[in-house]
Amino acid sequence: MLVELVNEPRPYSWGDTGSIAAWRSVPPGGEPQAELWWGTHPGSPARVVGASPKERIFLSEWLEAAGHSGALPYLVKLLAAARPLSLQVHPTKAQAKKGFALEDAAGVSLHSRQRNYTDTSDKPELIIAWSESFEALVGFQDLATMEQTLNSIESLVAEVSLTAALRDAVEGGGESAILWLLRDSDAHRVLASALTEALEGAITETAREDESPTGSLARVWELVVPHFPGDPGILVASFLNYVALAQGEGVFVPAGIIHAYLKGFGLETMAPSDNVLRGGLSDKHIDREEISAIVVKEPTPAELFVPRDVSPGLQESAPPGAPFRILHATDGVESLGVQGSGPCVVIVESGSHTLQDGDQKCALHQGLAYAWLPEAATASLRGAGSVFVVVPA
């Protein structure tokens, strides 16, 4: 059984105006379209297309009527960033349960801007680039690269006293540097302002194209500083690993890894949680003390997540500990291997396809997403283009 899903894009200020509209083959609107959600999360629940707009029911209701839980164990989003998202960390399940209970006991409303934990779930997430390039920051640099980053900052900020504490922290090792960067003080703001002032007009096209760590740092500053001048988050961003995903490549972000998506369009799949602790580059609630408590306090390489080949034209991404796996079909597939898996979400990146599920034949088209309850022992896919199928783990 397969049904078409519908939802409205989220107009967050960092979103772009064209990527989601182009995928849907509709004219771009005037406001940003940052995210499009396909799931049962109450923040933006998807609906099932009916004979008329009035007959559209929530996906959760459709699932319950079909004898399943009304809550999907994952959330699928299209994410279109024209400028950087906040620096953020997601907790483990144990940290989420503890934080949620403490905030409840303290009487912090679930709707308060000061709330860190809105549920008791972790939020592992995998982003797969749909644009030609998707740029992100993921995890703290190793010590050798931190030293290069510090040297670059010192070469720009001539006043030695402004960078002395940062140098002491870096020379103290990874954890020392990370904890210093995540603090909030006048010294951090003064250094961030001095760096912002020094960078005005200093980032060149030549530096941006340089593939060395210094070139990557110039690209990070080019993307971040104009939007957040003087923000101490600039210092944190400078010491994170810069990642540029090519189309089709992905990066997995487990609990505790600090990250920020900078620019690009992609498919993001995660546990259905809203637990986000922010450490800068945002006008939302920032809790540096809490983020320092849960962040992984050691350098962490940002590695591309490599899917495994299942069969010709079919790959699978199954991140460790995530409540989902993702099938990616780029050609005709005799068997998707989803029998008995539970509710799936199908997103057509490009092309037109036919899904054969037993006696049922369903046409799939670019710009649409579907909820699917596999019925037959095997299900096949015909067509040319790119289709993603999100399956419960």
Q: Which of 269, 249, 287, 262 is nearest to 208 (CA)?
A: 262
Percent share of the chain, pLDDT over 90: 89
Q: Which residue(s) pair with 386 in the sheet?
A: 350
The span from the CA of 25 to the CA of 14, in Å, is 21
Rg of the Cα trace of the chain? Answer: 22
Structure confidence by residue, pLDDT tens digits, 279-324: 999 999 999 999 999 999 999 999 899 999 999 999 999 999 999 9
- In this prediction, residue 202 carries a pLDDT of 67
- In this prediction, residue 315 carries a pLDDT of 96
129-142: average pLDDT:
98
Cβ-proximal residues to 306 (8 Å cutoff; 6+ apart), any chain: none
Structure confidence by residue, pLDDT tens digits, 25-72: 999 988 999 999 999 999 999 999 986 777 889 999 999 999 999 999
What's the per-residue H, E or C state across 42-80? Answer: CCCCCEECCCCHHHCEEHHHHHHHCCCCCCCCCEEEEEE
Angle between helices 160-171 and 186-199 (to 10 degrees): 110
Q: What is the DSSP string of 205-257?
A: HHHHH--SHHHHHHHHHHHHTTTSTT-THHHHHHTEEEEEEETT-EEEE-TT-
Which tokens belong to 248? 């089709």
Which tokens belong to 44? 């933006």
Q: Which residue(s) pair with 75 in the sheet?
A: 270
Q: What are the C-alpha distances in Å from 198 to residues 10, 201, 223, 281?
A: 35, 8, 15, 19
pTM above 0.75, yes or no: yes
- In this prediction, residue 52 carries a pLDDT of 73
The span from the CA of 81 to the CA of 74, in Å, is 21
**What would you measure as the largest C-alpha separation in the chain, in angstroms?**
74
- In this prediction, residue 205 carries a pLDDT of 44
Q: What is the DSSP string of 120-142?
A: S----EEEEE-SSEEEEEEEEPP
CATH of 308-392, one of 3.40.630.30, 3.40.30.10, 2.140.10.10, 2.60.120.10: 2.60.120.10
The span from the CA of 237 to the CA of 233, in Å, is 6
Helix (H, G, I), strand (E, B) or coil at 32: coil
pLDDT band at 346 (very low <50, low <70, confident <90, very high): very high
- In this prediction, residue 51 carries a pLDDT of 64
End-to-end CA distance of the chain: give it in Å, rounded: 20
Mean pLDDT score across all residues of the chain = 94
- In this prediction, residue 29 carries a pLDDT of 83
The span from the CA of 221 to the CA of 240, in Å, is 12
- In this prediction, residue 391 carries a pLDDT of 97
Residues in the chain: 393
pLDDT band at 331 (very low <50, low <70, confident <90, very high): confident
pLDDT band at 201 (very low <50, low <70, confident <90, very high): low
Structure confidence by residue, pLDDT tens digits, 231-276: 999 999 999 999 999 999 999 999 999 999 999 999 999 999 999 9
- In this prediction, residue 207 carries a pLDDT of 47
Write down the domain spans for the chain. Answer: 133-305, 308-392
Q: Which of 76, 41, 74 is nearest to 59 (CA)?
A: 41
Structure confidence by residue, pLDDT tens digits, 73-104: 999 999 999 999 999 999 999 999 999 999 99
Pairing outcome for strands 75-81 and 35-38: antiparallel
- In this prediction, residue 50 carries a pLDDT of 80
Percent share of the chain, pLDDT over 70: 96
- In this prediction, residue 261 carries a pLDDT of 98
Strands (E), the chain: 2-6, 35-38, 47-48, 57-58, 75-81, 87-89, 125-129, 133-140, 240-246, 250-253, 259-270, 277-280, 304-305, 308-311, 314-317, 324-329, 344-357, 360-365, 369-372, 379-392
196-205: average pLDDT:
74
Is pLDDT of 204 > 50?
no
pLDDT band at 210 (very low <50, low <70, confident <90, very high): low
Is pLDDT of 211 > 70?
no
Which tokens belong to 213? 């760590």
The span from the CA of 87 to the CA of 110, in Å, is 22
CB-CB neighbours of 106 under 10 Å:
8
The span from the CA of 285 to the CA of 306, in Å, is 34
